[in-house]
Amino acid sequence: MPIVTLTSDIGVQDFMSGAIKGQLLQQNQTFNIVDITHSVAPFNYPQAAYICRNAIRNFPKGSFHLVLLNLFDDRSNHLLMIEHDGYFIGCADNGLITMILEETPQKMVALEMEKSSPKNTLSCIRVFAKAIDEIASGKKIEDVGDNSVSIKVKNPLRPRLGDNWIEGQIIFVDNFENVVVNIHKDEFEEQRKGRKFSIVFKRGEVIDKVSENYADVNEGEKLAHFNSAGYLEISLNKGNAAGLLGLQGYAENQLQNQLQSQLAASLNNSLFYQIVKVFFE
C-alpha cells in the first residue's frame, strides 16, 4: 500500500480535496492517502516549503508526496516527479521543489500531460497517480518520464547574517498563533558562538534566552524556543503571540492584489515579511 500525502492550497470547503482522493483511488485502491494540509496560503511558497520539508522527512522512505500549489504557474505541458533521499515528490515545475529541498533534486523527470486533456487539477492528479502506481509497481523513476527536463529554480528564503547579528523573517503562524521564523537552531548556534544574545522584534519586544518549553515562563509571558522542526518560534504561554504582539507572516492581502506573474518575482522580497533580528554580544 503506497503512502501518498497531499499538501495544497485548495481548502476543504468544496468537493476538490475529496475528488483528488477519488482520482488517486481510481488508479489504485490500495493507495494509503494522508492529508498533510489543504490550508497553505495561496501562492505562499516559503510557507509551503516549510510545511512540506518538515512533514515529508517524518514519513517512511519510498513514500510519495503530492504538493498541489500553483499548479498552473504558466502554460507548461508537464509536471514533475522527484526522487530525493528516498522520497518521491510530485509538483508543478514552478520552482517550489528547490525551496522545499533547499538543493537540487537528485533525480527528476517530466510527466507529460495529454494535449487533449483539460488543464485542471484533476487531470494533473491522474498524471501523478499513473506515475506513482508505476513506480510503486517497480519501475524506476527514469522509466515514467523524461529525465532530460530542465526545471525552474527558486531560492529558499534564508536569514541574513552579520558578524554580530542574524536577521530572519516570519514564515509561518500556526493554529495557536505561535510565530515561526526561518532561523534554524543549527544556524543560530553557529552564528552565536556561545555569546549572549537578544531577540528583537516588533514594538521593541526583546527576549534574551531560549526556553525548552512553555512551562519555563509564567502564563501570559513571551518566550522563544526551537520547535520540533528546529526553527525559532516566538510564543506566549497560553496566549496568541501573533495577535497580541502584532506579528504576522506573509502578507496574503498584498498578494491578492498582484498579478500571478508578479508574485513569482516578489517571493524573496522582505517587504512581505516581518523581521526578527538576533543580536550577539
Query: pLDDT tens-digit profile of 186-219?
Result: 999 999 999 999 999 876 789 999 999 888 999 8
pLDDT tens profile 44-71: 999 999 999 999 999 999 999 999 999 9
pLDDT band at 28 (very low <50, low <70, confident <90, very high): very high
Asked if residues 39 and 10 have their Cβ atoms less than 8 Å apart, the reply is: no
Write down the pTM of the prediction. Answer: 0.85
Split at pLDDT 50, 70, 90, the class of 231 is: very high
List the domain boundaries for the chain.
3-143, 160-280
Q: Please tell us whether the domain made up of 3-143 is placed in CATH 3.40.50.10790.
A: yes
Tell me whether the CATH fold assigned to 3-143 matches the one assigned to 160-280. Answer: no
Secondary-structure class of domain 160-280 per CATH: mainly beta
122-161 pLDDT, tens digit per residue, is: 999 999 999 999 999 999 999 999 999 999 999 988 999 9
Mean predicted confidence (pLDDT) in 16-32: 97
pLDDT at position 115 is 81
Q: How many CA atoms lie within 13 A of 31 on its CB side?
A: 27
pLDDT category at 177 given cuts 50, 70, 90 is confident
Q: Helix 16-27 to helix 121-136 angle, to the nearest 10 degrees?
A: 30
Residue range 261-276, pLDDT digits in tens: 334 444 443 334 588 9
**pLDDT mean over 99-111:** 96
Give residues with Cβ within 8 angstroms of 181, minimum separation 6: 159, 168, 169, 170, 171, 231, 232, 233, 234, 276
- What whole-number distance in Å separates Cα of residue 112 and Cα of residue 124? 10
- Is the pLDDT at 113 greater than 70? The verdict is yes
Find all residues with CB under 8 Å of 126, minimum gap 6, and list them. Answer: 23, 27, 117
- The alpha-helical segments, DSSP class H, found in 40-120 are 45-56, 96-101
Single-letter code of the amino acid located at 134:
E
Predicted confidence (pLDDT) at residue 248 exceeds the cutoff of 70: no
Which of 49 and 249 is assigned the larger pLDDT? Answer: 49
Torsion on CA atoms 226, 40, 85, 90, rounded to nearest 10: 180
Mean pLDDT of the chain: 88
Whole-angstrom distance, CA of residue 237 vs CA of residue 269 = 31
Q: How far apart are CA 255 and CA 278, in angstroms?
A: 28
